[in-house]
Amino acid sequence: MNNDGRFPEISIVIPVYNSTGSLEEIVRKINVVMEEILNCTYEILLVDDHSTDRHTWETIAKLAEARAEVKAIRLRKNVGQHQATFCGFSMSSGKIIITMDDDLQHDPLDIPRLLEYPEKDAVIAVFNRKEQGIIRNFTSRIKDLFDNAILHKPSDLKLTSSFRAIRRDIITKILEVHTSFPLVGSLIWSVTENIVNVPLEHHPRYEGKSGYSFFKRLSLFSSLVFNHSSLILRFMSKLGILSAFGGMIFGVFLSGRKIFFGNVAPGWTSLEVTILIMGGLILLSLGVIGEYLYRILSTVEVRPRYVIDATLNMDSVTEERKLWEGLSDARVSETMKSTDRGN
């Protein structure tokens, strides 16, 4: 890789939440890989996602003080792993951006494996066996099935891992997508299909337990379903058509029974069942529409994905890149026109 002297060749973005003991080991291993194996310029962006453990920021600050390559960012509120990753994207300067977890389940010594495909826009790790609970493994498999159905990607391509390497131009395009519910893997696929998986080993957690509860994973799943597809809307449309068709057939049946068999005792049961079924479908449809309207409103309002509370070792060059590359081409052009008018 060539470096122009202004920006590092590689940026490593690590969202951090209530991790302390693993951070020093992660930074140490990254330093070994970058300086002794790859021999390239780099930066490590530790994004503290408003950890409740105050020792987390203290540890990050010490690491930033010890090494200029470590850049620290603290968010004002917890926004989740994907939002925190986006914060790291916007503040990064490298030509290649690597993302990984803060628990050492992704080994920094595997970073060179992610860089073996320079012709690819994104390289994503895939694990044959994950060091996590049975329920989480099961839900991950379910999400893979929905990824295939919703994103229309090859079934053998996995996008779920957060251990990945992405080219700068892809990151720039991803940052132009203004959504309040981002999923990094899905957004990568929406920008490019030039993606490859690399098989790697998944390691046990260094300490503690995962911060991904069942409800957090359910929230991510709902973001996939509602924000990255119209699957639910299409399903409700087809269900409505089937219900209407079934209602018409049932109506023909009741009319025929009335005509050919004369007066029949009123069927309150069938009436009640019909009302309950149709009423339930109507309420379900309204709930789906309401969920879409809420997400559209959140996007139209242009709510901030995150709010930065403090930074360490963030120089003016990084701020300049954040300003210009974080904007869409149209907004940059408008800014330049305004500057020209001012002159």
Give the pLDDT confidence score for residue 202 in this predicted structure. 86
Give the pLDDT confidence score for residue 306 in this predicted structure. 86
Q: How far apart are CA 14 and CA 134, in angstroms?
A: 25
Select from 68, 127, 102, 76 the least CA-distant residue to 212: 102
Tens digits of per-residue pLDDT, 132-177?
556 666 666 666 666 666 667 888 888 888 999 999 999 999 998 8
Positive or negative, the CA dihedral 204, 209, 214, 220 is: negative
Pairing of strands 308-312, 70-75: antiparallel
Tens digits of per-residue pLDDT, 19-49?
888 999 999 999 999 999 999 999 999 999 9
Pairing of strands 122-126, 42-48: unpaired
Q: How far apart are CA 127 and CA 202, in angstroms?
A: 6
Q: How far apart are CA 251 and CA 170, in angstroms?
A: 56
pLDDT at 343 over 50: no
> DSSP E strands: which ranges in the chain?
10-16, 42-48, 70-75, 96-99, 122-126, 164-167, 195-199, 308-312
In the DSSP assignment, the letter for residue 315 is -
* Average pLDDT, integer, range 109-133: 87
Select from 209, 194, 231 the least CA-distant residue to 117: 194
Q: Please tell me the pTM assigned to this model.
A: 0.70
**Quick one: how far is CA 184 from the chain centroid?**
4
Q: How far apart are CA 81 and CA 263, in angstroms?
A: 65
**Quick one: how far is CA 16 from the chain centroid?**
15
Select from 88, 67, 80 the least CA-distant residue to 24: 67
* Average pLDDT, integer, range 66-87: 92
Positive or negative, the CA dihedral 115, 28, 31, 166 is: positive
**Quick one: how far is CA 6 from the chain centroid?**
29
pLDDT at 326 over 50: no
Per DSSP, the three-state class of 44 is strand
Give the pLDDT confidence score for residue 315 in this predicted structure. 67
Pairing of strands 70-75, 42-48: parallel
Q: How far apart are CA 218 and CA 119, in angstroms?
A: 35
In the DSSP assignment, the letter for residue 117 is -
Asked if 150 contacts 225 with a C-beta cutoff of 8 angstroms, the reply is yes
Q: How far apart are CA 308 and CA 57, in angstroms?
A: 13
Asked if 9 contacts 40 with a C-beta cutoff of 8 angstroms, the reply is yes
Positive or negative, the CA dihedral 308, 312, 315, 321 is: negative
Q: pLDDT higher for 12 or 186?
A: 12
Confidence of residue 92 (pLDDT cuts 50, 70, 90): very high
Q: pLDDT higher for 124 or 182?
A: 124
> DSSP E strands: which ranges in 174-315?
195-199, 308-312
